[in-house]
Structure 1
Amino acid sequence: MLLADTTNKVNEMIKDYMMMKKEIARLEQIIFGYSVPMINWGVAQYGMDAAMPKCSSGKSKAELKQMDLRERRQHSRLLILRSKVMILESYTDSFSDLPTNIIYDRLLDGWTYRAIAEELSVSVTYVKDRKHHIMDVIVSAQKAQNAQNAQKDHFLHAQ
């Protein structure tokens, strides 16, 4: 499954990396049953309201079905986000020179070009050039991987 096949997609994935990590953590907490703040817990009641009988606190079948659909959508979003994050993380420390690896790590952490340039004592133009190099490497590797997967699929179907 190709998720990063163009430079624009890779650029967006790099920009959204921190947001995707936070969303993955949030979805995992919701889907896999960790404590979730419940907005419909209600508040304490007094007087006549407290004495009156209440309806069932359980969920109706329609509510359960809607929750199931929502959970499926969240799970599919979780899988897509995990794939994107895994692609980006697979390139950590995979570039030929140390400055490019540092720039890549800082880009994933959400640093600006200027902040990266100041830390490395290089120009902003250098940082931008390295980012374009990084995106080209990722796109090329993803295209090569897709071609290899297509050959495997073709070989399996040809037999």
Structure 2
Amino acid sequence: MLLADTTNKVNEMIKDYMMMKREVVRLEKIIFGYTIPMDNWGVAQYGIEAAMPKGSSGKSQAELKQMDLRERRQHNRLLVLRAKVTILESYTDSFSDLPTNIIYDRLLDGWTYRAIAEELNVSVTYVKDRKHHIIDVIVSAQKAQNAQNAQKDHFLQAK
């Protein structure tokens, strides 16, 4: 999975979130002919649905080889954007206090600092401070995940 590892990258991802969501929908319509609901990007199924055979929602290796260059670039962009959107959405409602969670939601929705501050009846400076806190939490979590993945890879290579 694509990992956001710097403050600037996370900040840009938050700013571009709405655009990335729209682009994911657009690319899915171009590539697959329909959109794939985000909750189906990797959710386990239970009961009879889990036992029944299904076709893949993605492209097979044979189809990927036959794609032209433009389609392959679109498919690769779709995978990257999905990963970024998933990273950002995984932090929804994960902050310790309600105002920070509200600020994060509003930032993802493209609200301005001033509009968020007016809604919460706080200062713009408070909103900016909370945004910096949010970015620090995401960067720290992603760095920890990078370290854990590197440790796993090292362990697997040692065997």
TM range (shorter): 0.7 to 0.9
Contact 1:5 1:139 in 2 (8 A): yes
Structure 1 runs of 4+ with >4 Å offset? none
**CA–CA separation in structure 1 for the residues paired with 2:33 and 2:110:** 30
SS in structure 2 of the partner of residue 4 of structure 1: coil
> Equivalent residue for 2:80?
80
Supply the AA of the counterpart residue of 1:126. Answer: Y
> Equivalent residue for 2:22?
22
Structure-2 change in CA distance of 1:30 and 1:156 (3 Å): same
> Equivalent residue for 2:52?
none
**CA–CA separation in structure 2 for the residues paired with 1:90 and 1:6:** 17
Deviations 1:61-93 (A, max 9, x none): xxxx99621111000000000000000000000
C-alpha displacement at 1:3, in angstroms? 2.7
| Ranges in structure 2 where 5+ consecutive residues have no aligned partner | 35-64
Identity of aligned residues (%): 91
> Equivalent residue for 1:99?
99
SS in structure 2 of the partner of residue 21 of structure 1: helix
**CA–CA separation in structure 2 for the residues paired with 1:90 and 1:22:** 18
Q: How does 1:25-36 map to 2 (within 5 A)?
A: 25-34=25-34
**CA–CA separation in structure 2 for the residues paired with 1:88 and 1:141:** 12
**CA–CA separation in structure 2 for the residues paired with 1:2 and 1:71:** 20
**CA–CA separation in structure 2 for the residues paired with 1:32 and 1:67:** 12
Contact 1:27 1:78 in 2 (8 A): yes
Q: TM-score normalised to the size of structure 2?
A: 0.78
| Ranges in structure 1 where 5+ consecutive residues have no aligned partner | 35-64
Deviations 1:116-135 (A, max 9, x none): 00000000000000000000
Superposition CA RMSD, Å:
1.5
Deviations 1:25-64 (A, max 9, x none): 0000000024xxxxxxxxxxxxxxxxxxxxxxxxxxxxxx
**CA–CA separation in structure 1 for the residues paired with 2:151 and 2:10:** 24
Q: How does 1:105-144 map to 2 (within 5 A)?
A: 105-144=105-144
SS in structure 1 of the partner of residue 72 of structure 2: helix
SS in structure 2 of the partner of residue 92 of structure 1: coil
Q: TM-score normalised to the size of structure 1?
A: 0.78
Supply the AA of the counterpart residue of 1:19. Answer: M
